[in-house]
Amino acid sequence: MTLTELFEQHHRPHLHNHKREQRTIDEYRNTLRYWEQATGHAEVSEIDVKNIVQFKDYLAGLPGKKTDSKMAGNTIRKHLRTIHALLTTAAPKDSHNKRGIGLIAEVPELAPPAEEFRDAVDMLTREEIIAWIQAAKVRKASPIGGIDSAVWWECLIKVLYNTGIRIGTALNLRWSWIDFDSGVIHIKKCSGVKTAYTAVLNDEAREALRRLQASGFRLQEETERILKSAPADRVFDWRMNIRTLYSIAERQQIMAGIPEHRRFKFHGIRKHFGSGIAAENSGVATKALGHSNPTVTLRYYTNPRQVVAPAVDRIKPLKECLTPATASPCDDDPCHQRNKLATVLPVNPLESYFYSECVGIG
């Protein structure tokens, strides 16, 4: 049995039972294609550390997403973790591996590359997002779900920009989840939606949704007349493959003049939203993005130049805390020195801390 056969027969059914989206299955199959290109169709029982090293070296030589670059270390790490997950399924069943089938005695271990933590700068700017909308309006395309494509794309991007929801959530959004009176979206966990949480609608997002709803009224009446049934409850009724959506977005960003290294697609909008909210309050940003762990927000959705730099610039300089020393007959008296310094200490406790660290008090 090869790794591909192991995945299809034993691992994939488990993913399906947990309603994993198609993209996850596609990612597994993509890793397995790389595996076969690097190592051939080796039997699972014959796989050892040498095969995994060979696979790792093969990935390291592949081109990356950017021009003249190699595959990123984090991407290699992801592929190695996928292979490790499959080999774990092939290992014997025990208390930590309840799905093991016992094809191999133990999982060959190879330390993956260290995870690379990069500043969250892979986000679109407001100007780039506006240019994207303009390009979507200019590009001629057939209606989407009976709605003019320019209107559909403009409303989609505006909703993503103002709510920070994921593209998968947007494509599975239901009209029944939206409470226009309260100005919120009650996002429910389902296939294609990772997290259940409440997103807040501002005026622009509410206006975009109302416009989309109005554009769909005529379609709804026509559908009910012909099919004698109500159409789907989806807000953004996208019926093609998700890759087609990304391909169209790529062409729109090219038309908008966005450089290749800055075409961050839909998640670039979500990160722009998260970093903007975090600049006001990081705790609010975690809530607005639907994250359960604030570390994820700070690590991957906070641009330090946008959030940290302004806060650092607001630190009061030490020179404003210091006053020129004046000579006096009792300057050598330690008690006099302490009393003299105490008269110039600032009231703010934080400033007092910085001052004491500087002059050696405490």
Domain ranges of the chain: 3-90, 126-310, 318-359
Task: Return the pLDDT at 271.
Answer: 92
Q: Report the alpha-carbon distance of residue 153 to residue 269 in Å, rounded.
A: 14
Mean pLDDT of 109-121: 69
Mean pLDDT of 221-232: 48
Task: Return the pLDDT at 245.
Answer: 94
Question: Exposure string (b/e) for 224-262, b if CB count within 10 Å is 16 or more?
Answer: eeeeeeebeeebbbbeeebeebeebbeebbeebebeeee
Model confidence at 360, in pLDDT bands (50, 70, 90)? Answer: very low
pLDDT at 51 over 70: yes
Percent of the chain with pLDDT over 70: 79
pLDDT at 9 over 60: yes
- Per residue in 122-167, pLDDT tens? 789 999 999 999 999 987 788 887 888 999 999 999 999 999 999 9
Q: State the average pLDDT for the chain.
A: 81
- Residue count of the chain: 362
Task: Return the pLDDT at 166.
Answer: 93
More confident residue, 141 or 102: 102
Q: Report the alpha-carbon distance of residue 194 to residue 191 in Å, rounded.
A: 8
At position 310, the amino acid (one-letter code) is: P
More confident residue, 318 or 37: 37
Q: Report the alpha-carbon distance of residue 44 to residue 90 in Å, rounded.
A: 8
Task: Return the pLDDT at 309.
Answer: 78
Task: Return the pLDDT at 328.
Answer: 52
Structure tokens at 189: 């966990």
Q: Report the alpha-carbon distance of residue 299 to residue 117 in Å, rounded.
A: 8
Task: Return the pLDDT at 37.
Answer: 93
More confident residue, 222 or 184: 184
Task: Return the pLDDT at 353.
Answer: 43
At position 170, the amino acid (one-letter code) is: A
Task: Return the pLDDT at 335.
Answer: 53
- Comparing 62-71, 177-186, 226-235, 241-250, the range with the smallest average pLDDT is 226-235
More confident residue, 281 or 65: 281
> What are the backbone angles phi and psi of residue 234, rounded to the nearest 5°?
-70, 140
C-alpha distances (whole Å) from 84 to each of 28, 109, 154, 169, 309 are 12, 8, 42, 29, 40
pLDDT at 249 over 60: yes
CB 76 within 8 A of CB 56: yes
C-alpha distances (whole Å) from 230 to each of 148, 222, 224, 227, 308 are 20, 10, 6, 8, 50
Which of the residue ranges 68-82, 101-115, 173-187 has the most confident prediction, judged by mean pLDDT? 173-187
Mean pLDDT of 326-349: 52
Mean pLDDT of 229-257: 85
126-310 CATH fold: hpI Integrase; Chain A (1.10.443)
DSSP assignment of 263-283: --HHHHHHHHHHHHHHTT-HH
Q: Given CA atoms 85, 91, 95, 99 in this order, what sign does their dihedral have?
A: positive
